[in-house]
Amino acid sequence: MALSYPVEIRLSTGRLELAARHWGNPAAEPVLAIHGWLDNAASFDFLLLHFDLERYQVVALDLPGHGWSDHRPPGESYHLLEYVRDIVAAVETLGWTNYRLLGHSLGGSLAMLAACAYPERIRQLVLLDALGPLTGPEENGPALLRQALDKSIQGSSRMASYPDFDAAVAARQKGIGALSEDAAATIVERNLQQIEGGVKWRTDPRLRWPSYQRMTEGQVAAYLKAIQCPTLLIAGEQGMLKPGHPRMESRLACISNLRLEYVEGAHHLHMEPRPDLVAKLIMDFYAEPA
């Protein structure tokens, strides 16, 4: 009997309950897919339709505060390294000991950090328009800390609401990374909740708060150098890592076993215009000895 994809699952990690979309044969080789900031698991839908779902199973995770996953409890924040802890807990809940990581944008940075922390567990790493976290000069640290503390005391303003789904989609199209109406609608549908008189974002407003601390370029370089598995970076020709990016060359040089491929598209290159081409690059990479 043919399997129907995707299947909605819940992962109780002991910290939070996380939502995810499971694609493929449950007995196949496992892949964990991690989405970008303010996106969700559905952002991989376009790409995974072109995967070999007999050979690979993919769990596309909703990160905490995103999609249908739990928000962090009051008083907590969304620090980068806390996300890595959530990813490790999700994999433990799934019972995987050897797997592949696939990450877009923020999800790519998190996949990179997980790969360097557990090199013996990660077979291959695929980064989609991602090459490590945002950084900042050391001298900016005190001001950044003050800004983050002030925001934690002030709290979030009221979340934006919209009269209907179409209005929310139009707003998302104006966000980070240009998106077509279809692509925006795919992400928005999983990030909305009904309210009286319309809809509002389901995502946790604390996701937009400033970070307490950012890594330095030296710290990022140390993490990148610790990645041992074969790594494929697919960057959009009009994306955030387009040729000429100021930190591209220095970061690329840190990963010892790296392949770089440019494809047509912007930051959400795995959604449009050619998710089939991106999937083929990944399938060919997966087929190589790891």
Residue 176's pLDDT is: 72
Three-state secondary structure string covering the chain: CCCCCCEEEEEECCCCEEEEEEECCCCCEEEEEECCCCCCHHHHHHHHCCCCCCCEEEEEECCCCCCCCCCCCCCCCCCHHHHHHHHHHHHHHHCCCCEEEEEECHHHHHHHHHHHHCCCCEEEEEEECCCCCCECCHHHHHHHHHHHHHHHHHCCCCCCEECCHHHHHHHHHCCCCCCCHHHHHHHHHHCEEEECCEEEECCCHHHHCCCCCCECHHHHHHHHHCCCCCEEEEEECCCCCCCCCCCHHHHHCCCCCEEEEEECCCCCCCCCCCHHHHHHHHHHHHHCCC
Residue 1's pLDDT is: 36
Residues in the chain predicted with pLDDT less than 70, given as ranges, are 1-4
CATH number for the region 7-141+213-287 comes to 3.40.50.1820
* Residues designated as active site: 105
